[in-house]
Amino acid sequence: MGYEFIKTEFGDGLGKIILNRPQLNILNIAMMEEINDALGTFQRNRDLKVLLFGAEGKCFSAGVDVGEHMGDMAPKMIEVFHGMFRLMDKLGAVTVASVFSSCLGGGCELAIFCDFVIAADNAKLGQPEIQVGVFPPIAAQIMPRIMGRKAAMELILSGKIITAQEALQLGLVNKVVPKEDLGTETEQFIKPYLKLSAEVLRITKKAIIKGLMDEMEPSLKVIEDIYLNELMKTNDANEGLKAFLEKRKPVWKNC
């Protein structure tokens, strides 16, 4: 199937979803619906061993479209955005993100939710949502599990952006490589998994996740409820998003 904002490929056990919404791969609802459609197709492919998320353009992804974050669109945006992670959670196959330059907000969440992240040395990762009056729900769910509570608190509550090397030290990425070598290094990283059984990979990944006794769905539902029914009903969340779109500093009322 042809898509407008992504490219997909499959061959020899390797599936690819390439973000292709020039230039910054801002994730809008239409683009995320395409990703969900592709994930649904890959989920039905029993020969899939590895699913790779890559990107064309200036960066991996600068985040979710803030204009679709507001008002009546927020529930739809959250539904479609979180749909990606629910589908990835059920996929079973090994997931890999190959990131470069800006990997921020929802784009960062998409990358770090993958089992492995290969980062170019020019990659910048972070969750700056707090600075515009919201928080990153997927990062709130998964970051403490990846890097520990205190490091996750610092990144999410400050909204600071870190280098690929800092992300490596924190355990957010698996490997940092020169930007010009990202493609070949990603291929080399993936190669061993493509020699294995797709079914055994699925069962083993399931065992690792179940061994943590860490079901995504119950915690994500709680986070969604806080996001939509507490956060998005505050003055400051709506002010922060509006200020971002109007390119001004937000005026917080602390309510």
Active site residues: 109, 129
The pair phi, psi for residue 95, each rounded to 5°, is -115, 140
CA–CA distances in Å: residue 143 to residues 18, 78, 166, 196, 212: 24, 18, 15, 29, 15
CB-based contact 182:120 (threshold 8 Å): yes
Give the 3-state secondary structure of residue 80: helix
Q: Cβ neighbours of residue 164 under 8 Å, at least 6 residues apart?
A: 119, 120, 121, 122, 123, 124, 125, 173, 176
Which one-letter DSSP state was computed for residue 179?
A: G
First to last CA, the chain: 46
CA gap 53, 149 in Å, rounded: 27
3-state SS track over 107-136: HHHHHHHCCEEEEECCCEEECHHHHHCCCC
Residue that has been written with the tokens 């943590």 in this structure: 212
Residue 209, H or E segment: helix 198-211
